[in-house]
Structure 1
Amino acid sequence: MYDVMKIMVGNIFITIAYAFLVVPNEIINGGVTSLALLLNAVTGGGIAMLANIVTFLLLLLCLIFLGREYFLKSILSSFFYMFFFNFFYSFHIKIDLNSIASLILASLLIAIGYYLCISSHSTTVGVDVIALILNHRNKKIDIAIAIRCINYIVLLFGFWLYGWTSIMKGIVFTFIYSFVLKKLLDRNQAAVRGMMKKVV
């Protein structure tokens, strides 16, 4: 139940950031939606349908490589995300901040949201699925750095679609939230190691 609460609160942080800051300010981050936009430009398959296909494939990868616990919690995370995003977005509120302040606040909220989900053995059913799989295969691969690199790859491939301004905003946004996420995950790991030493 504690993990479920963390996943729910994590998605509340993420969806507040997306509904009130990211979407209104047109900040892109190289995640599933950005990938769907890119694929749509290439295939014309429709953004919503392509986003659903990518999400389904990520859930499938989650089940195959991360196991049943991650899979079930990630489905729950998806439900929370859809519910809270639609709820918050229905207010059509844009937090009135300048672009830099919006970008920093959104980055902090998303970093905390990602941390709450990942530390509960769940995913946000985004590129963190791939990062977690890579980390499970090789513990030397840092989850936050992997998320950052995957987002950068998507952003760079989408340069011709988004343009310089959007790409630069996306790069800064991705760097800040992945930097904060890394600090939170590192601190969590250090705390877990400390507890294990006390038990031993």
Structure 2
Amino acid sequence: MNPSLYLVGSAADLPRRRTGLWVFMGVVGMLFFLFSSAYVMRMAMPDWRPLPFVPPQLWLSTALLIGASVAWHLAWRAAHAHAAAASRLAYGAAGVCSLAFLASQLWAWRAMEAAGLTLDAGPANGFFYLITSVHGLHVIGGLVAAAWARPRPGRDSATMQLCARYWHFLLGLWLAVFALLFGVTPELVNQMCGGGS
């Protein structure tokens, strides 16, 4: 599924585009919910070893995705105000931050591999690579849509608004993934499920 189907189009079909984007984000959200459920259930197995550290590159990734989300919001506000130069500048910043986010993710993978935390080193590692790669694919899909949504004369500001909404979603998803991978422990799950009482 490609978000570009829902992000670009004419102002006349805006309600359809908005609905399509919400449905798409709902499907993606459910996909990550299922990944998260499998991750939490897998923690109950005796061979589970949590990831021993947070690669510092992931903090950079987080900051870059926040920057992309803010830049998309600014691009939408500028397009809505018919400030073409500001919209193009924010659009460019959003693209740069998004590409840098993907580069930072690859850098984090390299750091994990250098520390011996390869894909096959344990279940937690496999989930880390799976979940971060699927999130990265959704960022790439958003960038493809963003290429079609670039600011140009006659482009409605709703296109920028939909892009901003998608990037806000990607940021929220990333923060949830980050918390899942590095904040949820078997002990916490056991306490939440009443096993600690």
Return the TM-score normalized by structure 1.
Answer: 0.32
**Greater C-alpha Rg:** 2
